[in-house]
């Protein structure tokens, strides 16, 4: 037990007069859930955790409980918060929150805890001499929610502004400034903000960090975007396609692999960097790319975790639809971003485009690490980069270059995941059976409805 951490958190909650402290986790449906404790019970609850029925990891994003062995009505785990993640919630005065692990009654990590999955992946990477840094780069829709006379629910974008246009800045200004301040108050460093292509679409990026921190920040980001919007009477939706006819929302994942520093986290040297290479990438980085490409059709079942995800992954929408990598190629699933002037080593990284905010960030990043490590261990060669739009190549040429189409539905991605021994092994029996059951059930449920229902229901939750 982290006695010092508990003491720190209790003191901070007292200083901030936080009367409710949320213990949050992300479920297999990708939904952020949790329970909260009063300040009076905080110290005890930090030590004992808060009880959670094991069935919650068999719940899908429509609150339809699936039948999964080991996740029935009998049995409990504990939601145990990580004191290092404590934040006072700027958008919920009087409340604070922490991100949590799901822990068995004997104190061991539960085999269906997503955050523990990422911690295990980080440990496997450390054993290979690398520590990942990452940042998710979410896009989202800012909209008003309306119900028309015949009960039809709609999201109306706050503007019809053009890509990067000054009108877009003006229309979203009050929200954008509050959003930046709220993220910074929680310790995140904001990098860039702009109105994106779609009507009402926003993009704001935050600074990268060690893998676990990056996944934690993705949770805080999602919570903050939506909550700040609500306080402005608006809805922020990070769903991949909240509006079927508008540009999709990615949450591209930027990542790099560093030597392991003395504290076990990323050290000084970027192991993806090689000044002598035409793209500034090391041999290790190419093997990592090879691993990600080899597992990508299965990996997207984790990084693009919803039915709605596959509405976004279309050719020529800058979201990527093909398994390839390329130099600053925004149609390639893995983009090698050009280096920043004067910061070549610090900025050497890769960007995974088939990634969105419906994926559980812990499973997504953990899966990405396992895929990359497999490439390193097997010294996989990713072949030549594709430096044209892959959609403009003939079928034959794509086949010759080994450029396959990404799965075009959640079910197709889950089929790939089931065939992928490396990812299935990494997930382990309980987690993979629960994840597959939950995600298969979402495919069935949304299969019985039209696109408008699917888009709206995802927009409500993500």
Considering only residues 199, 254, 353, 432, which one is a binding residue for ligand GLU as defined by CB under 6 A? 353
Considering only residues 12, 153, 194, 330, which one is a binding residue for ligand GLU as defined by CB under 6 A? 330
- Sequence-distant (6+) residues with CB within 8 A of 257 are 125, 130, 131, 132, 133, 270, 271, 272, 284, 285, 288, 372
Partner touching 359 among Mg ion, ligand GLU, none, CB below 5 to 8 Å by kind: none
Closest CB 246 distance from ligand GLU, rounded Å:
10
- Sequence-distant (6+) residues with CB within 8 A of 6 are 43, 46, 47, 83
SS3 350: strand
Considering only residues 237, 319, 358, 433, which one is a binding residue for ligand GLU as defined by CB under 6 A? 319
Q: Which x/- pattern over 135-154 shows residues binding ligand GLU (rule: CB under 6 A)?
A: ----x---------------
The burial of 330, by beta-carbon neighbours within 10 Å (0-12 exposed, 13-18 middle, 19 or more buried), is given as: middle
Identity of the residue, 257 or 313, whose beta carbon is nearer to ligand GLU in the bound complex: 313
Residues 200-259 that bind ligand GLU (CB under 6 A): 247-248, 250
Closest CB 440 distance from Mg ion, rounded Å:
31
Partner touching 247 among Mg ion, ligand GLU, none, CB below 5 to 8 Å by kind: ligand GLU
Q: Which region among 197-205, 286-294, 301-309, 360-368 touches Mg ion (by CB under 5 A)?
A: 197-205
Query: Sign of the CA dihedral 209, 250, 183, 341?
Result: positive
Closest CB 326 distance from ligand GLU, rounded Å:
13
Identity of the residue, 70 or 337, whose beta carbon is nearer to ligand GLU in the bound complex: 337
Closest CB 312 distance from ligand GLU, rounded Å:
5
How far apart (Å, rounded) are the C-alpha atoms in residues 318 and 298? 20
Identity of the residue, 203 or 420, whose beta carbon is nearer to Mg ion in the bound complex: 203
Rounded to whole angstroms, what are the CA distances from 125 to 6, 258, 368?
29, 10, 11
- Sequence-distant (6+) residues with CB within 8 A of 213 are none
How far apart (Å, rounded) are the C-alpha atoms in residues 202 and 214? 20
CB 320 within 8 A of CB 296: no
Considering only residues 318, 346, 377, 444, which one is a binding residue for ligand GLU as defined by CB under 6 A? 318
Binding flag, residue 280, ligand GLU (CB under 6 A)? no
Residues that bind ligand GLU (CB under 6 A): 139, 247-248, 250, 312, 318-319, 330, 353
């Amino acid at each position: 037990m982290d006695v010092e951490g508990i003491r720190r958190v209790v003191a901070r909650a007292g200083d901030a007069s936080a009367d409710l402290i949320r213990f949050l986790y992300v479920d297999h449906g990708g939904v952020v859930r949790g329970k909260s404790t009063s300040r009076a019970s905080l110290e005890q609850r930090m030590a004992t955790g808060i009880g959670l029925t094991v069935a919650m990891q068999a719940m899908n994003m429509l609150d339809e409980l699936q039948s999964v062995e080991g996740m029935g009505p009998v049995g409990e785990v504990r939601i145990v918060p990580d004191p290092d993640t404590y934040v006072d919630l700027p958008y919920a005065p009087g409340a604070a929150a922490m991100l949590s692990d799901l822990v068995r009654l004997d104190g061991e990590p539960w085999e269906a805890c997503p955050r523990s999955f990422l911690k295990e992946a980080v440990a496997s990477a450390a054993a290979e001499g690398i520590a990942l840094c990452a940042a998710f780069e979410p896009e989202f829709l800012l909209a008003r929610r309306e119900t028309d006379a015949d009960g039809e629910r709609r999201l109306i974008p706050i503007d019809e502004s053009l890509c990067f246009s000054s009108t877009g800045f003006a229309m979203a200004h009050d929200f954008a400034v509050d959003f930046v301040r709220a993220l910074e108050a929680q310790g995140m460093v904001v990098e860039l903000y702009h109105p994106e292509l779609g009507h009402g679409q926003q993009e704001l990026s935050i600074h990268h960090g060690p893998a676990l921190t990056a996944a934690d920040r993705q949770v805080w980001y999602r919570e903050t975007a939506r909550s700040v919007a609500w306080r402005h009477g608006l809805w922020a939706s990070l769903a991949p396609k909240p509006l079927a006819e508008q540009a999709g929302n990615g949450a591209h994942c930027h990542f790099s692999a560093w030597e392991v520093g003395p504290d076990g986290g990323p050290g000084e040297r970027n192991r993806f960097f090689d000044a002598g290479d035409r793209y500034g990438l090391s041999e290790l980085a190419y093997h990592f790319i090879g691993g990600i490409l080899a597992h990508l059709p299965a990996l997207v079942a984790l990084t693009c975790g919803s039915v709605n995800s596959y509405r976004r992954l279309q050719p020529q929408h800058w979201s990527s639809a093909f398994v390839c990598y390329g130099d600053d190629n925004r149609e390639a699933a893995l983009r090698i971003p050009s280096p920043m002037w004067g910061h070549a080593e610090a900025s050497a990284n890769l960007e995974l485009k088939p990634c969105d905010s419906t994926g559980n960030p812990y499973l997504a990043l953990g899966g990405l690490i396992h895929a990359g490590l497999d490439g390193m261990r097997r010294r996989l060669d990713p072949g030549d980069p594709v430096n044209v739009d892959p959609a403009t190549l003939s079928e034959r040429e794509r086949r010759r270059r080994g450029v396959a189409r990404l799965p075009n539905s959640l079910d197709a991605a889950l089929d790939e995941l089931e065939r992928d021994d490396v990812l299935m092994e990494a997930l382990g029996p309980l987690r993979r059976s629960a994840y597959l059951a939950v995600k298969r059930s979402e495919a069935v449920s949304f299969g019985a409805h039209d696109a408008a229902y699917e888009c709206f229901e995802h927009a409500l939750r993500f």
